[in-house]
């Protein structure tokens, strides 16, 4: 079923190749404009957006109810909107972690292969643009659409919050929410780039969609289990010393961080729970001098998630580069 592209020609870039004429990004904004218009009007995106918005409203509604009942005086009321869960609805942040990859995959799984199957690719590439502009334009259009959807959701949360809680959000809260927005967009960027890679590799959009979803499922469901098993076998506990226990836990965490879901979850925790002081395993000695439960300033929370955030961005870039290389090597006959 996985019909891969037959027309990948072995075409080593000749060493003597001169500098290319003109800018590789010429025409990119035309591509971005067209693709974004497509995304925003496509039935697929409309359905997904309605779904996301409904889920968001549901979880925020429940959260505001919960908050106004329990905690009346809280510095971070609005952040609680993101994190408060009440059965049967999960917290909004958890919903995001679930929905964002799906939206991203839906945006990109047929971005390149559909141009092949509609036979529009050679017509577009016969215009004075490079392939770089086409691929980058498609990626940016996906990212901007994602950013648009997320921003709309954020505004919705704050709007609902003001309506239901009757207090204005504080600057610190807004700042944290904005950082979280950035992290969410790049978390989506990873899945966008991944789906794009598969849309270059597989000629069938359905294959690309299935494969992308399979990878997402793997990281969502299985990777933590695998990381635990790997850590147990690679760093076994023989004598039960503290050092052994620590080594295994650290290894498990390190392995888990290969998953974008872990990176995103850690970012979410540190940004939305200002009390979070560390994302690793915490020893009592490290807690000395810290007042438990006292929130960190935003700058320190950001410093805490900096590696995670750069990890998310780096993964996005690496995956996009992969899609780019594969696309450059393809022969366009359609």
Partner 1 sequence: MSETVLETRDLTKKYNSFVAVDHLNLQVQAGEVFGLLGPNGAGKTTTILMLLGLTEPTSGSVRVLGLDPTRQPLSVKSRVGYLPDQVGFYDELTARENLTYIARLNPIPTPQLPARVDEALQRVGLREVADKRVGTFSRGMRQRLGVADVLIKNPRLIIMDEPTSGLDPEASLEFLEMIRALKREGITILLSSHLLYQVQAVCDRVGLFHKGRMVLQGTVNELAERVLGGAYRIQLQAEGDPQAIQSALQRVDGFRNIRQTGENLYTMEAARDLRPEAAQAVVQAGGRLYKLDVQTQSLEEIYSAYFKEVEHGTVQSSRVR
Name the residues that contact ligand ATP, by CB under 6 A.
7, 9, 331
| 87 near partner 1, rule: CB under 8 A | no
Which partner in partner 1, ligand ATP, none is near 297 (CB below 5 to 8 A by kind)?
none
Q: DSSP class of residue 86?
A: B
Instruction: Using the minimum distance from each CB to partner 1, give the nearer residue, 16 or 72.
Output: 16
Return the structure tokens found at 103. Answer: 């939206």
| Nearest distance, CB of residue 204 and partner 1, angstroms | 17
User: Binding marks (x or -) toward partner 1, 95..124, rule CB under 8 A?
Assistant: -----------------------xxx-xxx
Rounded Cα distance, 21 and 330, in Å: 20
| Nearest distance, CB of residue 130 and partner 1, angstroms | 8
Q: What is the DSSP string of 103-121?
A: HHHHHHTTTTHHHHHTT-H
Helix then strand then coil, in percent of the chain rounded to 5, is 70, 0, 30
Stretch that binds partner 1, among 31-39, 57-65, 150-158, 294-302 (CB under 8 A): 31-39
- 119 conformational bin, left if phi > 0, alpha if psi -120 to 50, beta if neither: left
How many CB atoms are closer than 10 A to CB 207?
19
Rounded Cα distance, 152 and 162, in Å: 15
Q: Using an 8 Å Cβ cutoff, are 72 and 81 in contact?
A: no
Return the structure tokens found at 308. Answer: 């995670």
Which partner in ligand ATP, partner 1, none is near 159 (CB below 5 to 8 A by kind)?
none
Instruction: Using the minimum distance from each CB to ligand ATP, give the nearer residue, 9 or 285.
Output: 9
Instruction: Using the minimum distance from each CB to ligand ATP, give the nearer residue, 9 or 69.
Output: 9
Phi, psi of 8 (to 5 degrees): -80, 105
Instruction: State how far Cα 35 lies from the chain centre.
Output: 20
Instruction: Using the minimum distance from each CB to partner 1, give the nearer residue, 4 or 68.
Output: 4
| Nearest distance, CB of residue 155 and partner 1, angstroms | 29
Rounded Cα distance, 75 and 119, in Å: 56
Instruction: Using the minimum distance from each CB to partner 1, give the nearer residue, 27 or 161.
Output: 27
Bridge partners of residue 52, in order along the sequence: none
For residue 176, which of 268, 264, 266, 91 has the smallest C-alpha distance?
268
Instruction: Using the minimum distance from each CB to partner 1, give the nearer residue, 124 or 181.
Output: 124
Which partner in partner 1, ligand ATP, none is near 124 (CB below 5 to 8 A by kind)?
partner 1
Stretch that binds partner 1, among 24-32, 104-112, 279-287, 306-314 (CB under 8 A): 24-32
| 127 near partner 1, rule: CB under 8 A | yes
| 44 near partner 1, rule: CB under 8 A | no
Which partner in partner 1, ligand ATP, none is near 324 (CB below 5 to 8 A by kind)?
none
How many CB atoms are closer than 10 A to CB 243?
9
Residues that bind partner 1 (CB under 8 A): 9-11, 18, 20-22, 26-27, 30-31, 33-34, 38, 118-120, 122-130, 331-334
């Amino acid at each position: 079923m996985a019909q891969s592209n037959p027309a990948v020609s072995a075409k080593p870039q000749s060493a003597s190749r001169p500098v290319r004429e003109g800018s590789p990004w010429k025409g990119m904004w035309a591509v971005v404009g067209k693709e974004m218009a497509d995304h925003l009007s496509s039935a697929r995106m409309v359905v997904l957006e309605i779904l996301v918005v409904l889920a968001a409203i549901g979880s925020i509604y429940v959260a505001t109810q919960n908050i106004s009942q329990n905690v009346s005086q809280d510095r971070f009321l609005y952040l609680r909107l993101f994190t408060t869960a009440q059965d049967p609805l999960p917290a909004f942040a958890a919903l995001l972690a679930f929905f964002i990859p799906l939206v991203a995959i839906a945006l990109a799984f047929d971005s390149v292969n559909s141009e092949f199957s509609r036979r529009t690719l050679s017509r577009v590439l016969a215009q004075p643009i490079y392939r770089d502009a086409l691929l980058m334009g498609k990626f940016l259009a996906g990212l901007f659409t994602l950013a648009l959807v997320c921003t709309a959701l954020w505004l919705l949360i704050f709007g609902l919050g003001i309506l239901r809680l009757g207090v204005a959000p504080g600057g610190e809260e807004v700042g944290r929410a904005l950082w979280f927005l950035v992290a969410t967009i790049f978390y989506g960027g990873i899945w966008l780039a991944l789906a794009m890679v598969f849309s270059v590799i597989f000629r069938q959009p359905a294959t690309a969609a299935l494969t992308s979803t399979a990878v997402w499922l793997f990281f969502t469901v299985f990777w933590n289990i695998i990381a635990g098993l790997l850590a147990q076998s690679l760093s076994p506990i023989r004598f039960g010393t503290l050092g052994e226990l620590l080594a295994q836990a650290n290894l498990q965490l390190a392995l888990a961080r290969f998953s974008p879901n872990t990176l995103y979850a850690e970012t979410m925790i540190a940004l939305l729970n200002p009390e979070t002081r560390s994302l690793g395993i915490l020893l009592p000695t490290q807690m000395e001098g810290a007042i438990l439960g006292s929130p960190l300033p935003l700058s320190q929370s950001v410093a805490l998630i900096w590696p995670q955030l750069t990890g998310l961005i780096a993964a996005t870039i690496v995956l996009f580069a992969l899609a780019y290389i594969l696309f450059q090597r393809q022969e366009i006959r359609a």
